[in-house]
Structure 1
Amino acid sequence: MLELSFCNELLDGEGLSLREQAELAVALGYAGLELAPATLGPEPHRLDAGHVADLRRSVEATGARITGLHWLLSGYPGLSITDRAQWDSTRAVLIGLVDLCARLGGRVLVHGSPGQRPRPPGLTDDELTQFLADFFAPVAEAAQAAGVVYCIEPLARQETATITTIAEAAALVEAIDLPAFRTMIDCKAAGLQEPQVSDRIRDWVPTGLIGHIHANDTNLGAPGMGNDPFHDIVRALVDTGWSGTVGVEPFRTCVDARITAAIGIATLRSCERALA
């Protein structure tokens, strides 16, 4: 079976504590939670070791685990990976989040955060790749040292003009050339930008450049809340031998976050059972 994790921001937005979120995830059959750092409070990259240990214990006591972090810069609107004047402060935050992820027991960080990556004017695609490689190299080195995988997320052009296809993200991965720096496939973003997500999975997972998968519908809901062909997506993941976690990442709810989480895992598990 695929290992499934639920992205926590909708649950947090409805007032559930981290422990309550983990209890719900376990009750539904998820392996754990993928956290948006901003749900842990202001400046989560500065959380002290004792508090981080308490957070990890509270989740693991339920039988769940923290699988990773995503939406890394949502709590830092003034930062940017594409504004050189913000590079030092942005790198410091990201390296702090790498450390936070490792201390929480997470394995992967997903860098989306479209608001903090406007495309610099005047750069060709190749120049942009090198520009971003210069920024991310120290972050990738920190991830390597911490034993986690840092993924740059391709986003749809409606959100950003910086890294909008898996191929562009893969070029950045190859430029940095460290095992701890990968890209990922977000079904919503890929479905809007590069139709036939299942084909993209078959194209890219065998390359070893994919470090994570997000399962969500192009209508912003969880799998099962729209018409995206998750039976094909799940088949592609199984056929390519995907062994990493799949993070269920809806951006809107059906009734509430609890029901949304239930719909997501029920849909994916039913797709798996159909393959038997």
Structure 2
Amino acid sequence: MSFRYAYCNETLAPGRTFREQCDLIASLGYTGIEVAPFTLAEAPADLSANERASLRADAQAAGLDIVGLHWLLAKTVGFHLTTADAAVRNATADRLIELTDLCADLEGSLMVLGSPQQRNLEPGMSRETATDHAAEVLAKVAPRLEERSVTLALEPLAPSETDFLRTCAEAVALADRIGSPRIRLHQDVKAMVGGEAEAPAEIIRRFPEQTAHFHANDANLLGPGMGDTDFAPILRALKETGYDGWVSVEVFADGPGPVETARLSLEHLKAVAATL
């Protein structure tokens, strides 16, 4: 099998139109783009049907698939997954429903729910209560996910980033509680390296059926091959477990610059995959 590689657009967005981002990502050899909503508009409602159609056309003209959305609640106010404030939880469910519609309108099929600042435990709140609140929000979103054929992938993050949903096992337990086929697990190399007791390859092999999406990056916040993480066992585990989703490169640090980071990341992934 061969992997499908996408690139997360936010580091390439400043100073570039969406069409320019798509053209650049395609020129580097990627076949998909994963979109942070804040790079498109302040809120999903700000994008008209014509503007959504134009974004779809931009990606298609570049030869890219729009994989979906990530950083769903980044650069927003008034949204929180686990808060004790019922009104805020309701608003969060509404925003996730709006994002589901945006994702489907762009012909994407998945959304990655990370956004650590919008899920951290409030002072004095137990993990059990926080989980109840998160389940309540997600249960309200599930019907729209199913209606629009969009998968919401729950992203565990390292303890350095959040105090809620820090392991793949926790994310799977929450998804199982909802019981929707459209709420599944997202795996991120940086997070697995920083927050799990097992090696990434072992975790991949433990949750093959639950994993909907995969982010490739390094603990140093740069791309594959730019840090100490060995991607050979990671890609081997994905291959041997039959993972057929996207491998999206998501980076956070500048390194040699956003374009060079995107180029080097894909070169490394392809080189490692060729040895399997």
What TM-score do the two structures reach when normalised by structure 1?
0.95
Q: 1:254 offset after TM fit, Å? A: 2.7
Q: 1:126 offset after TM fit, Å? A: 4.2
Cα distance in 1, alignment partners of residues 136 and 123 from structure 2: 17
Task: Give the counterpart letter for 1:202 in structure 2.
Answer: R
Q: 1:185 aligns with which of 184, 187, 204?
A: 187
Cα distance in 2, alignment partners of residues 123 and 192 from structure 1: 24
Give the conservation status (yes or no) of the 8 Å contact 1:70–1:109.
yes
In the alignment, what sits opposite 1:230? 231
Which deviates more, 3-12 or 116-125?
116-125
Runs of 4+ deviating beyond 6 Å: none
Q: 1:138 aligns with which of 134, 137, 140?
A: 140
In the alignment, what sits opposite 2:206? 203
Secondary structure of the residue that 1:12 maps to in structure 2?
coil
In the alignment, what sits opposite 2:11? 10
In the alignment, what sits opposite 1:252? 253
Q: 1:59 offset after TM fit, Å? A: 1.3
Q: 1:154 aligns with which of 156, 162, 166?
A: 156
Secondary structure of the residue that 2:62 maps to in structure 1?
coil
Q: 1:262 offset after TM fit, Å? A: 0.6
In the alignment, what sits opposite 2:35? 35
Give the conservation status (yes or no) of the 8 Å contact 1:80–1:86.
yes
What TM-score do the two structures reach when normalised by structure 2?
0.95
Query: Per-residue CA shift, 1:108-144, capped at 9, x if unaligned?
Result: 1001001111214555544433331111101122111
Which deviates more, 15-24 or 171-180?
15-24
Q: Which runs of 5+ in 1 are unaligned?
A: none
Cα distance in 1, alignment partners of residues 212 and 122 from structure 2: 26
Secondary structure of the residue that 2:187 maps to in structure 1?
strand
CA RMSD of aligned residues (A): 1.4
In the alignment, what sits opposite 1:69? 69
In the alignment, what sits opposite 1:25? 25
Give the conservation status (yes or no) of the 8 Å contact 2:191–2:219.
yes
In the alignment, what sits opposite 1:101? 103
Cα distance in 2, alignment partners of residues 56 and 79 from structure 1: 27
Q: 1:5 offset after TM fit, Å? A: 0.5
Q: 1:266 offset after TM fit, Å? A: 0.7
Give the conservation status (yes or no) of the 8 Å contact 2:90–2:137.
no
Q: 1:237 offset after TM fit, Å? A: 0.7
Cα distance in 1, alignment partners of residues 93 and 137 from structure 2: 8
Cα distance in 2, alignment partners of residues 125 and 82 from structure 1: 9
Q: 1:94 offset after TM fit, Å? A: 1.0
Task: Give the counterpart letter for 1:3 in structure 2.
Answer: R
In the alignment, what sits opposite 1:91? 93
In the alignment, what sits opposite 1:266? 267
In the alignment, what sits opposite 2:171? 169
Give the conservation status (yes or no) of the 8 Å contact 2:121–2:127.
no
Give the conservation status (yes or no) of the 8 Å contact 1:77–1:115.
no
Task: Give the counterpart letter for 1:103 in structure 2.
Answer: D
Sequence identity percentage: 40
In the alignment, what sits opposite 1:110? 112
Cα distance in 2, alignment partners of residues 225 and 119 from structure 1: 33
Cα distance in 2, alignment partners of residues 82 and 133 from structure 1: 9
Task: Give the counterpart letter for 1:50 in structure 2.
Answer: N
Give the conservation status (yes or no) of the 8 Å contact 1:37–1:75.
no
Give the conservation status (yes or no) of the 8 Å contact 2:7–2:30.
yes
Give the conservation status (yes or no) of the 8 Å contact 1:45–1:97.
no
Secondary structure of the residue that 1:162 maps to in structure 2?
coil
